[in-house]
Amino acid sequence: MSQSNRKPPNSQILPGFPLLGLPELMECLSALGIPAQMEDLTKPTAGTTQGIYAGLIEALMGAPMESIEAPKQALLGMMEYKDMYNDALQFTMFFRHVRDLANLCGITNFSLADLTRPEPARFKTVLSGIMNFAKFRDERAHFQAQLQAKLQEQAEKTVSLRQKIDQVENDISEITARNAAERPQSEQAQKRNDGLRAELMELRSQQMKLSSETEDLKKERQALMDQAAHNAHLNTQIQQQILSVKSRLVQSPDRIKKQISEMSISLSSEKARLSSFQLKARELSNRLEVINSLELDLKNLIDLQKTIEAQKVKIEEAKRNRTIGESKKESKELELKNLQSRSDQLNKQIENAQNKLDRQQELTNETRERHNKRLAELKAEYTVRSKERGVWQKQRDLLSAEQKELENEMSNFIQTHENEINDLLQEYWTMRRQAEDYMNTMSVKLGLQVKA
């Protein structure tokens, strides 16, 4: 195979995270509470590498080596030769944990060689990926706190929802018990409603018949009353005619008697017809009273039917509410299961964070103790230095007094020499002016021309 087709080794693949220097790696390991030396990183061995990885698993994943013991014993209990597989099984489980941590940190090609035959560059790359992941997790601690607060809120919401679900279940059970208790009454009311409906329909048909008969009877009564009024009018006319005839002179008594007998016969027949009409009118009034009472009973039955239908509507609405409550209950149960699963996941995360916090607290306590010891040593050294400082302060005051005396003497010496120098300068300028006057006089006398 040509070199162009060869794949580069794993150590040559550029990682997707920044590589850290050895000092930074040492600082990160010390911050996580993992003991390591610079030589463990520059010249790694299988023992030191596995010790560092074990510390990283315990610090970042919350899985100390003691947690492997219980699953290992459970697996060994299913094997025949336990002593042969004890060390190999423990190493395999340890490698599985380290590989999961490496995959989580973006190192997908972690192998057994990284534990058994570690290389410095490769070991540095793996540690850089893990430390970058640890830094990222520390930076997201605030987000984790928000998730924890949200988890608490979700837990409270879950409790309230569970209480509401219990209340809904109690209401549903009460409604179910009430429906079961009221079912015989409902069935009886239904049967009674059906009977009343049939009776009501029969009464309705009878009412229609009676109404038509009543209208016919009313028309017949009106006709009879009109005929009775006409007969009364005729009777009045006949009475008037009788009076007029009586007022006249009677020429033929037999004829008059005959007419009177005829008229009395017609009058008796008219009276018989009037009494029959009156009897028929009383019968019709009685029938009207019965029809009115039937109408009132029919109205009461109609009102009863309306109330029964309203109760039936309420029962159907209660059934619909029950089905809606059951569907809501199922949805709330699903939501509760999801929330419980999320709560379990967050509880695991919180437990890991709590373990890390405990380890950080222990590291903080150790650091505080070291600082307190160092502070005590510095205080003791400070007391010693303060005493030495008092001695040096006295020597400094003596030297300051001598310095002031020397400065005064120096200032006096300088003042004296400045006065002497000023006197010498005055004598110098005086002698120079005298020399210039002498040169000018000599040049004039000698006739020399001097250029300025």
pLDDT tens digits, 161-188: 888 888 888 888 888 888 788 778 878 8
Give the residue-averaged pLDDT of 222-245. Answer: 80
Are residues 294 and 197 both part of a single domain?
yes
Are residues 174 and 113 both part of a single domain?
no
Give the residue-averaged pLDDT of 236-253. Answer: 69
CATH of the domain at 42: 1.10.418.60
How do residues 8-36 score in pLDDT, each as one tens digit?
334 344 566 778 888 888 888 888 888 88
Residue 344 has pLDDT above 50, yes or no: yes
Residue 72 has pLDDT above 80, yes or no: no
Look at residues 134, 144, 114 and name the one whose alpha carbon lies nearest to residue 45: 114
- For the chain, give the percent of residues with pLDDT over 90: 0
- Residue 204 falls inside a structural domain: yes
Q: Are 231 and 270 in contact (CB under 8 A)?
A: yes
Are residues 104 and 178 both part of a single domain?
no
Lowest mean pLDDT among 45-54, 59-68, 343-352: 59-68
Q: 26 versus 446: which is more confidently predicted?
A: 26
Are residues 27 and 130 both part of a single domain?
yes
- In this prediction, residue 1 carries a pLDDT of 35
- Residue 85 falls inside a structural domain: yes
Kindly state the tokens that stand for 135: 């830094």
Instruction: Compute the half-sphere exposure of residue 271: CA atoms within 13 Å on the CB side of its CA.
Output: 6
- Residue 430 falls inside a structural domain: no
Question: By three-state DSSP, how is residue 45 classified?
Answer: coil
Helix axes 46-56, 120-139, angle to 10 degrees: 10
Are residues 78 and 173 both part of a single domain?
no
Residue 452 has pLDDT above 60, yes or no: no
Give the residue-averaged pLDDT of 181-201. Answer: 80
- In this prediction, residue 246 carries a pLDDT of 65
Query: What is the widest separation between alpha-carbon atoms in the chain?
Result: 229
- Residue 369 falls inside a structural domain: no
Overall number of domains in the chain = 2
- Residue 190 falls inside a structural domain: yes
Are residues 175 and 223 both part of a single domain?
yes
- In this prediction, residue 141 carries a pLDDT of 73
Q: Which residues contact 441 (CB under 8 A, 6 or more apart)?
A: none
- In this prediction, residue 8 carries a pLDDT of 36
H or E, element range at 301: helix 253-446
Domain boundary residue among 139, 170, 186?
139
Domain that holds residue 77: 13-139
What's the angle, vertex CA 156, arms to CA 151 and CA 158, rounded to 5? 90
How do residues 260-303 score in pLDDT, each as one tens digit?
788 788 778 878 888 888 787 788 878 778 887 777 877 888 88
- In this prediction, residue 247 carries a pLDDT of 66
- Please name the residue that has the structure tokens 């028929």: 280
Residue 44 has pLDDT above 80, yes or no: yes
Are residues 324 and 185 both part of a single domain?
yes
Residue type, 324: I
Are residues 240 and 134 both part of a single domain?
no
Give the residue-averaged pLDDT of 154-166. Answer: 83
Domain boundary residue among 340, 368, 391?
340
Q: Which residues contact 103 (CB under 8 A, 6 or more apart)?
A: 110
CB-CB neighbours of 356 under 10 Å: 20
- Residue 193 falls inside a structural domain: yes
- Please name the residue that has the structure tokens 């017609």: 266
- Residue 87 falls inside a structural domain: yes
Are residues 74 and 134 both part of a single domain?
yes
Residues 48 and 52: their CA atoms lie apart, in Å, by: 6
Residue type, 97: H
- In this prediction, residue 448 carries a pLDDT of 61
Q: Are 345 and 160 in contact (CB under 8 A)?
A: no
Give the residue-averaged pLDDT of 112-125. Answer: 87
Residue 245 has pLDDT above 70, yes or no: no
- In this prediction, residue 79 carries a pLDDT of 67
Are residues 202 and 78 both part of a single domain?
no
Residues 341 and 377: their CA atoms lie apart, in Å, by: 54
Domain boundary residue among 278, 309, 340?
340
Are residues 215 and 72 both part of a single domain?
no
Are residues 186 and 293 both part of a single domain?
yes
- Residue 272 falls inside a structural domain: yes
Q: 452 versus 167: which is more confidently predicted?
A: 167
